[in-house]
Amino acid sequence: MLSATRIKQLRSLHQKKYRRHENQFLLEGNRLIDQALSADAKLFEVWMTQKNLDSPFGKNILQKFEEKKIPFSVAPEKIIRQMSDSLNDQGIIALAPIPVYEKYDNPPKMAIYLDGIADPGNMGTILRTAAWFGIKSIFRSHECVDPFNSKVVRSAMGAHFYFSHFEAISEEIVLGDYSKSGMEILGSDMNGSPIQSFILQTAKGWIIILGNEAHGIGETAQTFITATISIPGIDGMESLNVSVAGGILLHTLTS
């Protein structure tokens, strides 16, 4: 049985400062938690409604919890909702430690630099897409939305457990090293070379910079770019959403 103090403490994990202090975050929803298990994520504890447990999904996931010896309990819907940040009742919530990632050292062969991504849905979708295309190194500017925010976590669908590098670090350090190593530093822009005819100038490796939704790639990061790619579209339209543009770039670079 969860005490009121414990519920309050778990709820506090929806705020960045408590997440950082406790070094823990919450996962909500069947698909996300299932995906976290597939990625061998460590989970401290899971709470689930009786209704969800009685569903085919519930029976299946319960077996996985038992195999992995993850402490599990049934909690009333009301309590799950109190702990949840989502408007839609997900019927399951898990407490996980923030994964320990490798410290940045040398530029990895394929990486993404997130330069001020502000929207949690975009951040999560970019992480999910990166994991899908096998990118294990994500660096982010200090201006990005906190990636352990529950909306980011929901959209990322377990990608957090896939990365080797996932660090907030200044663009000067990371992009500076890519530059010194003669690796490709890619930006995306309406005036770049069309992606259909784009060719990497070196096999040493690359990093893609994805910029802020409203202001694009910042001035400092801009100075490091070695190649600008465009995704041609219809004249006069707004640009593509950053997670869609990122998906098209990653698909092209990895295929």
Which spans of this chain sit near a second copy (rule: CB under 8 A)? 31, 35, 38-39, 121, 125, 128-129, 131-134, 155, 157-159, 162, 195-196, 214, 231-234, 236-241, 243-248, 251, 255
Pick the closer one to a second copy by CB: 37 or 225. 37
Cα radius of gyration rounded to whole Å, the chain: 20
Pick the closer one to a second copy by CB: 2 or 245. 245
Shortest Cβ 239–a second copy spacing (Å) = 8
Shortest Cβ 245–a second copy spacing (Å) = 8
Shortest Cβ 138–a second copy spacing (Å) = 14
SS3 27: strand
Pick the closer one to a second copy by CB: 144 or 175. 144
Pick the closer one to a second copy by CB: 177 or 213. 213
The residue written with tokens 């990365």 in the block is 163
Question: Which residues on neighbouring strands pair with residue 26, listed in sequence order?
Answer: 95
Pick the closer one to a second copy by CB: 57 or 177. 57
Any residues with CB less than 8 A from the CB of 187 and at least 6 apart, and which?
208, 209, 211, 217, 221, 222, 225, 227, 228, 229
Shortest Cβ 114–a second copy spacing (Å) = 15
Give the ranges where 40-142 is alpha helix by DSSP (H). Answer: 50-54, 56-67, 77-83, 120-132
- Cβ of 199: how many Cβ atoms within 10 Å? 6
Q: Which of 162, 104, 154 is nearest to 131 (CA)?
A: 162
| Phi and psi, residue 96, nearest 5° | -130, 150
Shortest Cβ 28–a second copy spacing (Å) = 14
